[in-house]
A and B are shown apart, each in its own frame.
Chain A
Amino acid sequence: MNQNPNSDASIYDADKAISSTSGFTVNSVQRKGSAPTPLEVLHGVEARMGSAEELVSRYAIPARDAEFAQTTPDLDPQIIDHLKASGTWPLYRHQARSLTKSLSGEDVVIASSTASGKTLCCTLPVIDAMVKEPGAHALLLYPTKALSQDQHRHLRGLIDGIGLSLETGIYDGDTEPTLRRRLRRSGRIILTNPDMLHASVLPNHGGWGAFFANLRYVVIDEVHTLRGIFGSHVASVLRRLRRICRHHGSDPTFIAASATIQNPGEHVSRLIGRDVKVIEDDGSPRGHKEVVLWNPPVIEKPDGTLARRGPTSVAVKLLPELVRRGLRTICFARTRNSVELILRYIRERAKGARDREEVADRIEPYRAGYLPSERRQTEASLFDGQLGGVVSTSALEVGIDVGGLDGCIIVGWPGSVCSFMQQAGRAGRRQGESLVFLIAGQDPIDQWFVRHPDSLHESSPENAVIETDNPYIVARHLICAAYELPLSGEDSDLLGEDLTAMCTVLQEEKRLREEGGAWYLAREEYPATQVKLRTASEENFTILELGPENVIGELDYVAAMLSLYEGAIYIHRAETFIVEEMDHVNCLVKIRRTKTGYYTQVLTQKKVTVTEEWSHREVPGAGSRLAEVEVRTRLTGYKKVRFHSTENIGYGEVHLPPLELDTVSHEISLNRDTVLQSERFGTAFLRSGMHGVARLFRDLLAMRAMCDPGDIDHHVDDNLIHIFDLYPGGIGYSELGHELHLSMMSDVLEAVTECPCAAGCPACVLPGASRIESALEAEVLEYPFPKEATRWLLHLLLGKESYEPQLEGIPAPCENPMIPVPPLLDARVERKIRKVARLTSRRGRQR
């Protein structure tokens, strides 16, 4: 049997790592004979760059041998010949198991690490069906357009390599009408995303010729991203897909691929609505990997106060160093702005020295906002080794194959164990050593990991949670399904046993009409356009550079509002531009190249206004109310921030409409009496307590509702705590909070009491991430006894006898939240942080 050439390689033996040839090595870049190995580079870095204090911890993930398949799956000989010729033979054990299951028609989910050959598990059965059955069709779903592009290139490579002639194509919002027509008529393998499937493919299933009648496989990639509200919508879309297939007489086999999550089998079963087999025992080889946790140093500021330096300061030095020493490295930053800042600082530092400039020129940025063609270019040159390094947002975390990298720098905790594992997995894909650096930020959660470095490799990845019986979601999709085909009681096996009852309600509300035992839409409409699977807007702003009149990028609506207001300094590929005009009608932003010493940060203010009260009741210490609210995020202005020093050098005004969300909120309005009682401890005490309660209530509610914590948000204002659904029209979570108010409050108190920390930690009452919103936030963040304040407030809200807070002793670890202000967090990052906080809280209680 073919042994993995790297199996017995000593981790220090560079030559073996380089000469290994198993698996995909199309992109292998031969290192020059004298180049140092990653571990040698690490020794150098440790010796020269970081003090022992900064290098908090280091642990190794040992190399692992390949486990090859003992049996041969029943693939067509043409395919096997091609795999042998391209060096992908023998298959790994988990690949063979997954293929055998798929080929016999069982639904599977493959949950394994990055680069373990999941793609082949998904594509080989599809191609096999194409060879064996001349009429077979397949549908491949990817969460993003970029991923479909990438995967289509792979698929074409495989098909052309085998020498088949098959019509395949991407069917998404960017597809030309003529190509769309051709794919509908004769496409054998279609790649698309859930949104397109929902809004365009399923409603027009009649126009897809033989596609649905002969659908053999449905492949769903990156299923771990299909979670929360989005995932719950996709679950309904997949049930609609199965119903359409049944109508046309097919019953496709599902193949799902997931990153490592806690519950792949359960998650995918719920997603597709029937049991799946889980393939988990990863047989792919893995190279030795070192994970280093790095805490930036504390420095004295000019005014004598001490502050920890930001994580970018380390990344700016470390990335060029790794690239210079020949390690291809990816650097993950949390926001688009940080990506630009890191790149800009690297370029600035390199100025004047030729060798450093050469290194800096081999580092490119990657984020949303660039032209798709530019992004493809960066992916390709990273893959083929032309680029030495890339600075990216989490956009490169999912799927897209950028080849095996030697190093990965993660600037600030990425928000979840799942994300951390994905990002770290970008380095060292098959064999050879690799390095991962996690540079801690100033957020409480980052510093918590610094104090508990063991939990970094002990943490298990999160559960992916979806809700398949949320009436808000199910009812919306029933209406969509009625457009596609009349609904009848027979559909209840797919669309839920409440189908008839739901349809009756929808009929009474005049959305459906019954005729001959079937329900039809009661009026002419195209309901799919009214149901969005994701909350993010699909509208894009085009960014035009005045002068050369070039389109240099595009950005989605919310991101554009937050970074492309008039007067903003927009950093694009490390160059500064000033925004001259934001044209809302045509979704066009005009910017002009300009040299500035500062960048800008938008200031926002959130306000929650009740538009209609649904129900109200008195609870101890407060009133609990369920209401329809309007959440307005007003852009109050922007501040100018000097590069490097991050000092504030001025303000500007923003004239933009607020971002609005109409949703449902659970409101806890503190009694006059409660507020009066708190006065003896000061306003910061009460605020801190309210934030503590709000934050924990929200996290625990997410657990109760089985939803993603990022689908709920909270806001504290005056004597009010608002806990609302982050979905237009509401989705039922805050209603649950209102119903379970008291029992939720006792859960919150239990979580606080049982947390072993002294004065508060990110696992209980500390905010998951620092925010820049207002002075009030700072007041709350700096308050030293948040746990006591929360406990005191909880006793009142539960009607217990009053609690005497201990307002002395060791203060909570507050990490100078004011300096330097991190760029505005985007919502996803915030969501991930909360997820981690929830996770650690569970572990805390087990102890």
Chain B
Amino acid sequence: MAPGLIHSGHLLASGDEAVALAALDAGVRLGTGYPGTPSTEILEAFSLYGGQAQWAPNEKVALEVAIGVAYSGARALVTMKHVGLNVAADPLFTVAYTGVTGALVVVSADDPGMASSQNEQDNRRYAVAAGVPMLEPSDSQEAYDFTLLAIEVSERWGLPVLLRMTTRVCHSKSVIGTRGPAPPAPRARFERDIPGRVMIPAFARRAHRRLRGQLAGIEAWNEASGPNLRVHGSSRLGIVTSGISHVHAAEAAPEASILKLGMTYPIPMARIREFAGSVARCVVIEEGDPYLAEAIRAAGIAVESKPEMYRFGELNVGRVRRILAGDLSPESETPAGTPPCLCQGCPYRVVFQALRDLDCIVSGDIGCYSLGVLPPFEAMDTLVCMGAAVGVGLGMRHALPPEEARRVVSVIGDSTFVHSGITGMVEMAYNPPPSGHLLIILDNGTTAMTGLQEHPGTGRTLDHRATGRVRYDELARTLGIRRVHVLDPTRDPAGFRELVRQCLDSAELSLIVAERDCLLAAGKIRAYEKCEEPRA
């Protein structure tokens, strides 16, 4: 099923939908990933259009599954938000050495400005660090075209390709034309290649040299015929740009000459040198880190980079005009809108109220429940990354004086726990602090923050069909955690608070699974469960 809006053979599609359409047209065998704004809709759309898509417990596992698909000669797509690539970085760096037989496209959806993230890291750095070619689309058409191109490049040079998107490319809708089915991939088959696939040092040394050779080949191709656009304009002002910054720059400076790079690693430095030499003033317009500007300057090409103040947040037409004008005056602050909050009736409200009443030191985590940090609860003291609630809480237990250590609680959502809290719980059982510890899993039966996705703890697949289910209580008992409580905190809020107090006083290891469906998901969950009942 294709998306609804079709007019004169064109579609109005988001960048995420465009990637999914291209994956479908390219016959991608498997799409996998972990939900994360702004990447989530890619796999949902791919599944909706009829592709094989699945959620993995986390990005590392997703990438490993995708590597296996691509080792088998098939085409694989793996999607994640920028911070997800940190989790998947371990396999990324080494699959660059082994290469792939089929195609492997890794989508990193960055979030400059942090609309829904804990940092605004610029993942273009990963392409350089890992040695992985990188494409940066600037609208939905390019999201479609570059996904197909990423598959071509991946198959031609046998390397994974990073498709680096940003929030405004993922979530903006624009008009696209599609090309129909691409030539099919060869049939999947296992081909033994021990020195190429088994990265013991002796083979890895050879593989690293092979990688650098492949990158040199891609660089030459990118110089000669890469997806780089030259817009001829004034010889007084030239702009080197990529991704979403291109459309802002083209609007802010319609008179300028532009070199818009589609493949930003390996960088086509000869083209940039020639372009910079053809204009009186050459400015690099890019969002986030001065990634291009630093590399271009290191190559000895004189270009202007944006002032440091524009490293922060998203660019837009107004900010690009300011950069071009050299405007360093303070930017007017956008008036704050209404802040988000935990939904009225959210079961987590009871939990945060109890933690506040008991004056707990709360080691928190990533999800809707991060909103427990805001009024009226203000019941979260740390938030670092997915899964950190457990480890950070344990560390505080180890270091704080006993009267404070006793108040430390780790709070983590169900999807986040499966993503990377499980290893934290293993640590808790393995190195228990003298004061014990309390871990609370907020189990609302869905990945609520990103839009109600399934995960291994819900017992349903991406398309909501029944599958195996991870049981948090049984997992904890298996690890030797004896105090395990599973309950709905909303049934008896005072009793829940009392239970938390008892766990803290016990100086033992405790797990409370606070179980109650997300308000927004409850109706859907009931409908899925109904479908799962055996049919007569």
Q: Do A and B interact with each other, yes or no? A: no
Chain A interface residues (CB < 8 Å from chain B)? none
